[in-house]
Amino acid sequence: MNVTGSAAEIRLDGLGKQYPNGTVAVAELTLSVPAGQVVTLVGPSGCGKSTILRMINRLVEPTQGKIFLDDEDITRADPVRLRRRIGYAIQDVGLFPHQNVRQNVATVPRLLGWPTRRIDERVEELLDLVGLPPDQYGKRYPHELSGGQRQRVGVARALAADPVVLLMDEPFSAVDPIARARLQEEFLRLQAEVGKTTVFVTHDVDEAVRLGDRIAVLSEGGKLEQYAEPAEILGRPASAFVAEFVGADRGIKRLSVTPISVAKPRPISESAPDDAPSVPAGGMLRDALAALLEGGTGWVAVADHTGTTGMLTLEDIYHAMRSTA
C-alpha cells in the first residue's frame, strides 16, 4: 500500500463569506496552494483563518467564489463525500472517547467501506508513521494518551483514507511548548514522507515560518495582505500591517529560513584555532549564529559529509542577511 498517495492543487477563486447580519468573515480571496506544499494561514484573531479552512471542506458554505481541487470545482460537490477526501485535524483533536486508537484512525476508511484487511494494514502503517507503534498504542483509549499523543492520532486519522489535501486548524496549540516543538518536528518529517497539499492555520508566526512553504498573512475580514515564501514575508513585508504582525524581530526569524549556503563559507585560515564550533552545511544561518555566539572563537566551521568545508564569521552572516533583504 502506498502511504504517500496523491496530492492536489487547491485554488480559491474569489472565495468569500458574508453572514446574514452583514458581517464579512472573509472578503474576496484568491490564492492557490501548489500540490504537495504546505501553506500556513496567519493573522489576528477574527481574520477568517478557520472560516477559510471550513469553506474548503464545506463545513461553512461560501457566499461567493469557487474552490477547486486541481481542475474540479468542489463548490457544489456533495459535502459529505467531499469531506471523506479531505483530511481534517483540529486543535482539540476530536477523538471518539469510546473508541480505541485503532478504531479512531480507521473511522473514514470504515465509512468508505474498505475491506477489513485493507483498513488494518492502513492503520498499522499510519501509527508507525506518526511514531505510535500499533502493538503498544493501538488498543489504548484517548484518555490513556498524552496531549501530544492524541494529536498524533488525530493526524493519523486525517491521513487514513489517503486524502488529496490535508487541513489543519491550530492542531498543536493546546499542548505545552516542548510537546509543540516535537509535534512540529514530527509534522515536518511526516510531510517529507507523505507530501500532502496542506493548509495549516496558526496564530504563531514562528510556527508558520517553520512549517510553511508559503505563508498567507490575513487581516480583518479575511483580506489577503501578503502571500509569499517565509523569507520574503520576513525580509520584504508588503505593508506596515505585515511588518507589524510578523514582529520587530523578523530579522532574527529570517535567520531560521536562510540557508548557510547563502553566506558562501570562506576557506579556513591556517592560523584558525582547532576548537571552533561546527554546524552542518545544510543548516540555517540561525544555527550558525547560535553556534558562533556560544563558541567564543569568533567563527564557526561549516561541515558536510566529507568534513569541514569552510568557515563563517559574524560579519559573513551580517552581509549574507543584507544581501537577501
Average pLDDT for 113-122:
92
Per-residue three-class SS string for the chain: CCCCCCCCCEEEEEEEEECCCCCEEEEEEEEEECCCCEEEEECCCCCCHHHHHHHHCCCCCCCEEEEEECCEECCCCCHHHHHCCEEEEECCCCCCCCCCHHHHHCHHHHHCCCCHHHHHHHHHHHHHHCCCCHHHHCCCCHHHCCHHHHHHHHHHHHHCCCCCEEEEECCCCCCCHHHHHHHHHHHHHHHHHHCCEEEEECCCHHHHHHHCCEEEEEECCCEEEEEECHHHHHHCCCCHHHHHHHCCCHHHHHHCCCEHHHHCCECCCCCCCCCCCEEECCCEHHHHHHHHHHHCCCEEEEEECCEEEEEEEHHHHHHHHHHCC
pTM score:
0.82
Q: Give residue 100's pLDDT.
A: 95
Q: Is the dihedral of CA 177, 178, 181, 186 positive or negative?
A: negative
Q: Give residue 133's pLDDT.
A: 92
**Residue range 36-79, pLDDT digits in tens:** 999 999 999 889 999 999 999 999 999 999 999 999 999 988 99
Q: Are 150 and 174 in contact (CB under 8 A)?
A: no
- Inform me whether the pLDDT recorded for 4 exceeds 80: no
**Residue range 291-317, pLDDT digits in tens:** 888 887 888 888 887 777 788 888 888
Reported confidence tier of residue 2, pLDDT bands at 50, 70, 90: very low
Q: Give residue 270's pLDDT.
A: 67
What domains lie within the chain, and their CATH numbers?
10-248 (3.40.50.300), 260-323 (3.90.1280.20)
Average pLDDT for 156-178:
86
- Inform me whether the pLDDT recorded for 5 exceeds 60: no
**Residue range 183-225, pLDDT digits in tens:** 888 888 888 888 899 999 998 898 999 999 999 999 998 999 9
**Residue range 241-285, pLDDT digits in tens:** 999 998 867 778 888 888 888 888 888 776 666 677 888 888 888
**Residue range 67-106, pLDDT digits in tens:** 999 999 999 889 988 988 898 888 777 889 999 999 999 9
